[in-house]
A and B are shown apart, each in its own frame.
Chain A
């Protein structure tokens, strides 16, 4: 698409958005499928999006069934994220295939959801998302969590327990610290980023798994949560059918999660741990030699919520041990053993459910490995390190959190401006690629609208 066409689309989108936000309002709903089922406003379940409130966590814990009984047309919803990307230094060859080297509009993703009860009398509900990637021009299944939730008691304490089929370790989580629902809240597919990621952040849609969870109210103010799932990589044919491709992983992938939450009124503090181990096959051919990657993480979340103000803090740390015999044998890695560490710190504030600001510091550090990150195999880190850090500032305006347009009361929207600054990129702050490129050349502005209806 040419830049003049992009500009024309942009003007039309802005005009539509301005008209929509200027018309009269009426009681609004949250993420449309869940909102239509519960009749609750967006703010009941979310501080902005996608951070969950206590009500949102209970709703998810209970299997997405509250307020509903059976599937209904209202349980289907659409979402689209449209934005404009400006990068500090233009990218030769384009921000992505068929995109200009800078200043590009894009429909980053468009998703179809089913959200809500499948059969409430037994606690069966689902969150199912299918996404068209507007940058990569591909269609795939996205976050999916089908769960059966039940209530019983243990030691005379109420216990929610359940079973889940899902496709992303962490998608089932109740807090916004694991990668599945954590930073970045608004990823820009046209922007740069680290050359690697821990497995906890990399398996979404590539795997499918079954598991169980339990949440025990050990006191009126304290909740103990535990979850254990086992995943496997998607078989070749199924992977391609679902648009996920084929990324074989040998054997089963165990995933575990524990967390403790202390609550008072609408406020809460959470402390947790998370872990996963898998055996990816770097050749991409099943039954061949595999590597071993083990992730252990710690996380914490703090929320203060009142009728006017909502403030939250999130911290997450993940350490990954990598044992790479298969990658070394293929020449894809130099070291038999590497490590990756990620730290993410996020603070966000939302005023009157309309005006939000989020600040995030993200840091990825890893072993120097010439074949894995260096220039040998098409990488761009001259010192062979993946180290990348960033500060992200996100400003949001939610015109319909407290009242959607009369002609479409279930609609929700978020206008956003996001700025990302990279102090370090692919191993260094300056000349990281040996060709004089600097980290701040990847600094970017991403602005646009997130629409759900």
Chain B
């Protein structure tokens, strides 16, 4: 039993570390620059600041389609995903390819470094 608890604890530490891998790898300041040129026209960064897209405050690490007051597409509601680094990375790379029917008509960020930076920036938007 004690052995199992140790394994679980180690796995939890590893999972926590990997969940923040992009955050560690990404540069939030650079991510802010990319965000302003690519995302800010549709997305706000404070709680309740929904625009064409939902506010991204507090979205990082939370289930998708969860921002109050925003009318999400049926496709995103049904996607049943959580905005982990990996999920965000996949979505930002090619939104329509990742979730056909999403209402975000965006070609995507092809550069993995840009995506990591944006994800790092999103992680700073705690909404608090």
Task: Tell me if A44 is interfacial: C-beta within 8 Å of chain B.
Answer: yes
Task: Tell me if B15 is interfacial: C-beta within 8 Å of chain A.
Answer: no
Partner-contacting stretch, out of A52-60, A194-202, A241-249: A52-60
B residues near A68, Cβ cutoff 8 Å: 73, 101
Find the A residue at minimum CB distance from B94: A151
Q: How far is the CA of A159 from the CA of B110 in the complex (A)?
A: 10
Q: Is the CB of B101 within 8 A of A264?
A: no
Q: Is the CB of B103 within 8 A of A66?
A: yes
B residues near A27, Cβ cutoff 8 Å: 71
> Which single member of B34, B41, B100 contacts A220 (CB below 8 Å)?
B34
Instruction: Report the minimal beta-carbon distance from B30 to chain A, rounded to whole angstroms.
Output: 12
Task: Tell me if B107 is interfacial: C-beta within 8 Å of chain A.
Answer: yes
Task: Tell me if A265 is interfacial: C-beta within 8 Å of chain B.
Answer: yes
Count of chain A to chain B residue pairs whose CB atoms are closer than 8 Å in the complex: 83
Q: Is the CB of A67 within 8 A of B73?
A: yes
Q: Is the CB of B103 within 8 A of A39?
A: yes
B residues near A158, Cβ cutoff 8 Å: 94, 107-110
Count of B interface residues, CB-CB < 8 Å: 29
Q: Is the CB of A123 within 8 A of B96?
A: yes
Query: Given contacts A39-B73, A54-B41, A151-B94, are A220 and B114 in contact (CB under 8 A)?
Result: yes
Task: Tell me if A376 is interfacial: C-beta within 8 Å of chain B.
Answer: no
Q: Is the CB of A58 within 8 A of B101?
A: no
Instruction: Report the minimal beta-carbon distance from A297 to chain B, rounded to whole angstroms.
Output: 27
Q: Is the CB of B105 within 8 A of A151?
A: no
Query: Given contacts A44-B52, A153-B110, A220-B114, are A67 and B103 in contact (CB under 8 A)?
Result: yes
A residues contacting B by CB (< 8 A) are 27, 38-40, 44, 54-55, 58-59, 61-62, 65-69, 117, 120-121, 123, 151, 153, 156-160, 215, 217, 220-221, 263-266, 305
B residues contacting A by CB (< 8 A) are 34, 36-38, 40-42, 52, 71-75, 94, 96-97, 100-111, 114
15 of the cross-chain contacts (CB-CB < 8 Å) are A39-B72, A40-B103, A58-B107, A61-B105, A62-B105, A66-B96, A66-B102, A66-B104, A66-B105, A68-B101, A151-B107, A157-B110, A217-B110, A265-B41, A305-B41
